[in-house]
């Protein structure tokens, strides 16, 4: 199978390095012929993102801090200067103060609650609004990344779980708003993967071990696993799917108890 994304152009938001979930998805899209642009958050990340983008044949790099609506407008203006249309967006962005990704949710501060909600949930709405203006009559596809901590309590995930719940519900409302334009909006709920963002979550190594021992597949997922599912959700293979939260978590979300064969950790 090749050429599934031939003639399609998309913006990848949230690439930090070659461990990023966005990188797993970008590689699969590129393999299938997609033309890619990348947004990056500040100059510190540019030196990491540039060589990765170049290795996928892209020289279209745009600075964008999604917390700032002016910068988001400027980023889409810059994209419009190079491309007259956009077929898909991958939104792989989340952020919270790491001091509040440990301990108790009850201790969340208002400032960090609002900042986390803005960057991790509202930014999908703000990005979608701007992307839709560039999408052709035939439609388009928007994909975001979420986590099981939106559905069930995962210790330390705290305010990020609440923001992911808002993100998942936003996926449904956006899907309904944009369905008549044949623009699909979906999310992947990925199992835990060691990335820069994940390193801010308290006891993340324990979460990784727990998932490995207790998921039906008895392993953790990789950015390749996420990439394959991302390709499916962005491409026409999933033409009848919208408003969906698709779990790529080795099946962990269907399990209600510790596995009998899992040792105590």
Binding-site residues? 14, 41, 65-66, 93, 164, 193-197
Q: Identify which of 89, 223, 183 has the alpha carbon closest to the alpha carbon of residue 143.
A: 89
Among 190, 233, 234, 250, the residue binding ligand NAD under the rule CB under 6 A is 190
- Of the two residues 195 and 235, which places its CB atom closer to ligand NAD in the complex? 195
What is d(CA 6, CA 248) in angstroms, rounded to the nearest whole number? Answer: 25
Distance separating alpha carbons of residues 18 and 26, to the nearest angstrom: 10
Binding-site entries for NAD(+) = 14, 41, 65-66, 93, 164, 193-197
Q: Is 193 in the site for ligand NAD (CB under 6 A)?
A: yes
Q: How many CB atoms lie within 10 A of CB 82?
A: 11
* Position 15 contacts ligand NAD (CB under 6 A): yes
Among 53, 92, 127, 178, binds ligand NAD (CB under 6 A): 92
Quote the tokens at residue 203. 């006891």
Stretch that binds ligand NAD, among 27-35, 51-59, 93-101, 254-262 (CB under 6 A): 93-101
Task: Kindly tell me which of 109 and 239 has the beta carbon lying closer to ligand NAD.
Answer: 109
Handedness of CA 64, 68, 70, 73 (dihedral sign): positive
Closest residue by Cα to residue 148 from 89, 220, 41: 220
Residue 65 DSSP SS3: coil
CA dist 169 and 171 (Å) reads 5
Among positions 186, 195, 215, 235, the unique one binding ligand NAD when judged by CB under 6 A: 195
The verdict on whether 147 is a catalytic residue reads: yes
Binding site for ligand NAD (CB under 6 A): 14-16, 20-22, 41, 45, 64-67, 92-95, 119, 145-147, 190, 192-193, 195-198
């Amino acid at each position: 199978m090749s050429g599934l994304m031939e003639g399609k152009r998309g913006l990848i938001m949230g690439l930090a390095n070659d461990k990023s979930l966005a990188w797993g998805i970008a590689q699969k899209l590129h393999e299938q012929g997609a033309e890619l642009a990348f947004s990056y958050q500040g100059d510190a990340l540019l030196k990491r993102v540039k060589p990765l983008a170049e290795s996928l044949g892209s020289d279209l790099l745009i600075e964008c801090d999604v917390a700032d609506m002016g910068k988001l407008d400027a980023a889409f203006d810059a994209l419009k200067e190079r491309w007259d249309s956009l077929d898909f967006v991958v939104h792989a962005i989340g952020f919270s103060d790491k001091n509040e990704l440990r301990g108790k949710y009850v201790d969340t501060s208002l400032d960090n609650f609002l900042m986390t909600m803005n960057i991790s949930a509202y930014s999908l709405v703000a990005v979608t609004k701007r992307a839709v203006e560039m999408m052709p009559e035939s439609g388009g596809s928007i994909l975001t990344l979420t986590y099981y901590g939106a559905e069930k309590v995962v210790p330390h995930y705290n305010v990020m779980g609440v923001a992911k719940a808002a993100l998942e519900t936003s996926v449904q409302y956006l899907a309904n708003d944009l369905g008549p334009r044949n623009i699909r909006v979906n999310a992947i709920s990925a199992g835990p993967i060691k990335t820069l963002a994940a390193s801010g979550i308290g006891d993340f190594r324990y979460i990784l071990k727990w998932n490995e021992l207790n998921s039906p597949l008895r392993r953790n997922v990789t950015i390749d696993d996420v990439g394959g599912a991302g390709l499916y959700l962005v491409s026409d293979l999933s033409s009848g799917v919208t408003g969906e939260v698709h779990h790529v978590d080795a099946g962990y979300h269907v399990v209600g108890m510790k596995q009998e064969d899992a040792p105590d950790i």
